[in-house]
Structure 1
Amino acid sequence: MVSNIKKAIILTAGYGTRMLPATKSSPKEMLHVVDKPIIHYIVEEAVASGIEEIIFVTSNNKRPLEDYFDRNRDLEAQLRTSGKLELLAEIRGISEMATFAYLRQGEQRGPGDALKVALPFVGKGEAVAVMFGDDIVDSEVPALRQLIDVYAQYSAPVIAAKKVDRTVMPSKGMIVGHNIDDKIIRVESIIEKPALEDVVSDIAAQSRMILTPEVLQLVREMEPMGNNELYHTDALAKYLEQGGVLQALDFEGDWYDCGNKLGLIEAQIGLGLKDPTIADALREYLGKV
């Protein structure tokens, strides 16, 4: 019987260079979409999926992220004094969403290295959720919950996947496999950042996954490649070479890559149109441009 997933590792150590100069003094995860930072949506998704413990892997410019999920007693006192009790409850609730821990990635050496930083805090027989901190999925059933359900069904690791444009394929982990139903792909191989001429699929791994103890052990054993970086997809590729079973889920929902300017603007519009306080005015404005 598979274990229930209660712990998530959220990778937030990147510099956010695609969003400079906005990210020069503010972490990319703290850029706002409508009225909340990107990372708030991701944590909401995790909690709605049953996650109770969240480990953030950060870097030395991410203190605002830590402050956001901590209590702000001065602000709480001000809201209480001014009678803004509903807003007070909302602000207090942020620090109570889950149990939070923060670990520093000392050097930027890729997502695989960031994941390794958190593994001493994961039990040897424990499967965990892994999420990246710069994208939002808007869906009726939380995207991470969809992955957890597939993991429970097949007792095997599962990664989120979506079709991508050819222009971005050299920056993605590209998947080769075959469908076992309308939404689930049995992965045969995965290649990180392939040359365009080597791409034989339009399905890319996305930023949510459930990793089992077998895969996590391979992450622990990984060594840097020629570019001195580690990629979690290399551990998945080795797992497949050893005969492991890996599923990819074409998840339901609207996916916004907020790590680039277009994706962030798309998220502002898509989620803004669902906010009853601004939806009509936003729709009217969009009709004029």
Structure 2
Amino acid sequence: MQKKVTKAIFPVAGLGTRFLPATKSVPKEIMTLVDRPLVQYAIDEARAAGITEFIFVTSRGKGALEDYFDHAPVLEQELQQKGKNDLLATLNSTYMDSGAVAYIRQHRALGLGHAVWCARRLIADEPFAVILPDDVIAAEKPCLQQMVEAHAETGGNMVAAMEVPAEKAASYGVLDVAEDMGSVVSVKGMVEKPKPDEAPSNLAVIGRYILTPSILQNLDSMKKGAGGEYQLTDAIADDIRAGNPVYGYRFDGQRFDCGSKAGFLRATVAFALARDDLRNDLSEYLHEMVQLDKAAQ
């Protein structure tokens, strides 16, 4: 029987330079997608998957992120006095129980692998999840929940995967597939940011992982890889070479890259259109903009 996945690491130490000047004072992870911070989508997904311990790998200037999960007594009192129970319930959903959250500092930006390694002392001898809040996934069943259910059958390491055009492979870690079993694929290798003509497949790794403690041991002796950083995909590739099973999981859902401005805007439109309270007004506005654009041409 596989050990249950109850811990998740959230690497949130990045400076968010693509979103300057906003990120000069606001951590990227609490920039709002419609009316919720990016990190809230990640937390909600983790909770749905059964995660009970949340480990944030942060850096200097992330105090606002830590404050976001704390109680706000003055705001609570104001909402109670005005009878705004719906807003109070929304506020309560942002709180984290005492002891459920841990914050670890990554003092130097040395890559995703290094960020995960920083949390090693809180993981112990059990599988754990890694969630990148930049990757927001719209799905009927949350992506990590899908993976946890699949992992209960397979064990080993598991990465979320999606098909990408060949010309975009250089932006991802790409899977070398040993056996394609549908939603789950057995992996015989991983290549970080390959050239288009060197990509072993079109299955790219995106920001959801379920990993075994052996990955942390690999990171202990890891050398710098692509971009001069410690790559998590290199540590996973080492596990493959050691004979440990690694699987890719084709999730059901749509992934948005909210680490880029264009991706953030696409996600904003998609999530707003999925809301009953916003759909009609936004659809009408978008239709008007399209008509104006056509007229201008």
Q: Output the TM-score relative to the length of structure 2.
A: 0.92
Following TM superposition, the consecutive aligned residue runs of length 4 or more in structure 1 with deviations greater than 6 angstroms are: none
Instruction: Say whether residues 1:28 and 2:28 are aligned partners.
Output: yes
How far apart are the structure 2 equivalents of 1:229 and 1:254? 28
Partner residue in 2 for 1:116? 117
Partner residue in 1 for 2:73? 73
Alignment of 1:137-176 (within 5 A): 137-176=137-176
Instruction: Say whether residues 1:61 and 2:61 are aligned partners.
Output: yes
How far apart are the structure 1 equivalents of 2:72 and 2:117? 31
Q: Return the offset for 1:225.
A: 4.4
Q: Tell me if structure 2 keeps the 8 A contact 1:47–1:97.
A: no
Q: Tell me if structure 2 keeps the 8 A contact 1:119–1:220.
A: no
Alpha carbons of structure 1 residues 167 and 26: separation in structure 2 relative to 1, 3 Å: farther
Give the 3-state SS of the residue equivalent to 2:230 in structure 1: coil
How far apart are the structure 1 equivalents of 2:219 and 2:95? 30
Give the 3-state SS of the residue equivalent to 2:55 in structure 1: strand
What residue ranges of structure 2 are gaps of 5+ in the alignment?
A: 290-297
Q: Return the offset for 1:39.
A: 0.8
Aligned length: 288
What residue ranges of structure 1 are gaps of 5+ in the alignment?
A: none
After TM superposition, the structure 1 stretch with the greater mean CA deviation from structure 2, 171-180 or 134-143, is 171-180
Instruction: Say whether residues 1:94 and 2:94 are aligned partners.
Output: yes
How far apart are the structure 1 equivalents of 2:221 and 2:191? 19
After TM superposition, the structure 1 stretch with the greater mean CA deviation from structure 2, 258-267 or 11-20, is 11-20
Alpha carbons of structure 1 residues 202 and 225: separation in structure 2 relative to 1, 3 Å: closer
Q: Deviations over 1:49-82 (max 9, x none)?
A: 1111110111112111111111112211222232
CA RMSD after TM alignment: 1.7
After TM superposition, the structure 1 stretch with the greater mean CA deviation from structure 2, 56-65 or 73-82, is 73-82
Q: Return the offset for 1:23.
A: 2.0
Partner residue in 2 for 1:230? 230
How far apart are the structure 1 equivalents of 2:4 and 2:135? 24
Q: Deviations over 1:202-248 (max 9, x none)?
A: 11111001001222321233243485421111111111111221100
Q: Output the TM-score relative to the length of structure 1.
A: 0.94
How far apart are the structure 1 equivalents of 2:167 and 2:10? 27
Partner residue in 2 for 1:249? 249
How far apart are the structure 2 equivalents of 1:227 and 1:158? 24
How far apart are the structure 1 equivalents of 2:283 and 2:21? 29
Partner residue in 1 for 2:191? 191
Give the 3-state SS of the residue equivalent to 1:147 in structure 2: helix
